[in-house]
Amino acid sequence: MSRIAYVNGQYLPHNHATVHIEDRGYQFADGVYEVIPIVMGKMIDENGHLDRLWRSMEELQIDEPMKRRPLQLVMQEVLRQNGVDTGLIYIQVTRGVSRRDHPFPAGAVSSLVMTAKKTSLEKSEKKAEEGVAVITVPDIRWKRRDIKSVSLLPNVLAKQEAVEKGAYEAFQVDEDGLVTEGSSTNAWIVNKEGVLITRQTDHNILAGITRAALLELLEKKGIKFELRAFSEDELHDAREVFLTSSSSYVQPVIKVNDKMIGNGQPGSISIELRGVFKEYMEN
C-alpha cells in the first residue's frame, strides 16, 4: 500500500505531497504539531493530543485550520488510506503562506498537513527488553517548551549528538544542572531512596501526553511519585531511569553517558510501568 498524505484539503501520493515555498512553517518554523500513537487500530489519548494541539495554536495565535470534529475525520481517513493499524499519525498546522515578512500576515490561511506511518510493536518491545543509553546535553532551547512548536533545531542537534555517541536519546540539562526532558521524550528516575520522580509541567518542558496518562495510571494503582525537577547528579545516581513518549511508550534506560544505571539491566519498576502502560494501550 503506497503512502498517502493529506495537504490542505487533498489526499495526495506521499512522494508528490508538497507545500508552498513561502509557507511560514518552512520559512519561520511558524507552526505546531502533534504525534499520536495508534496501537492495534486504537488511537491512544486522541483527546489529550487534540487538546494540546489547540492549546499550542492558541498560544501562538494560529487560526484553527478546521474544527475539531472534521479534523478527526481527516485523521481517520489518513489512517485508513495508509492502512495503519499500529503506528503514528503526524499532524502539522502552520500559520500559512504569505510573502516573507516577520509579523503575522493579515488574512493568511493556516496550512494543515497530515501523514501516517506504521511502526512495529515487536521492535519496540525488543528495545524495551534490552534498555537504551542516553546522554546529557545542555538545554539550549527557548523558554516556551510547553508549546509543541515545529521549531525543533536544538532537539535535532541533541538527538544527532546522541546518535553519534551510540545513544537513543539526549536528556537536556538546564543552567541550574536540572534535567528538563529528552529531545523528544519526558525523563523519569527512581532515585536511591526508591522514589519515582518526573519533572513538574510548566513552561520548561512539554506536557507529555504519555507522561500524563502514566501519572493517572500510577494514581489509580496507588503508586507514589514526586513531581519535581531532578539534577543531573540524581540522574547519574538513580536506581532506575526511563523515558516516555508517544513513539517510545515507556522505555527503560540502562546507561547515562558512561555510567551504567543499576546493574545495567532495565529496572523492575520501569519494566512494571511499561507493562502497565501497554495494558492501558491495548485495552
Nearer to ligand PDD, 27 or 201 (CB): 201
Site for ligand PDD in 142-181 (CB under 6 A): 155, 181
User: Is 126 in the active site?
Assistant: no
* Residues in binding contact with ligand PDD, number by CB under 6 A: 15
Contact flag: residue 229 with ligand PDD (CB under 6 A)? no
Catalytic-labelled residue, pool 118, 127, 148, 221: 148
For ligand PDD, give the closer residue by CB, 98 or 245. 245
| Contact window for ligand PDD (CB under 6 A) among 7-15, 18-26, 95-103, 208-216 | 208-216
Closest approach of ligand PDD to the CB of residue 173, in Å? 14
Closer by beta carbon to ligand PDD, 8 or else 247: 247
Q: Binders of ligand PDD among 71-110, rule CB under 6 A?
A: none
DSSP state of 199: P
Contact status, residue 34 vs residue 53, Cβ threshold 8 Å: yes
Q: Identify whether the C-beta of residue 269 lies closer than 8 Å to the C-beta of residue 196.
A: yes
> Binding marks (x or -) toward ligand PDD, 240..279, rule CB under 6 A?
----xxxx--------------------------------
CA distances from 145 to 138, 230, 254 (A): 14, 18, 26
Q: Which stretch binds ligand PDD (CB under 6 A): 190-198, 202-210, 253-261, 267-275?
A: 202-210
Candidate ranges 8-16, 71-79, 101-109, 205-213; the one touching ligand PDD (CB under 6 A): 205-213
Question: Any contact of residue 206 with ligand PDD (CB under 6 A)?
Answer: yes
Residue 139 binds ligand PDD (CB under 6 A): no
Closest CB 137 distance from ligand PDD, rounded Å: 13
Indicate which single residue of 7, 19, 29, 35 sits in contact with ligand PDD (rule: CB under 6 A).
35
Residues marked active site are found at 148
| Residues engaged in binding ligand PDD (CB under 6 A) | 35, 155, 181, 184-186, 206, 208-211, 244-247
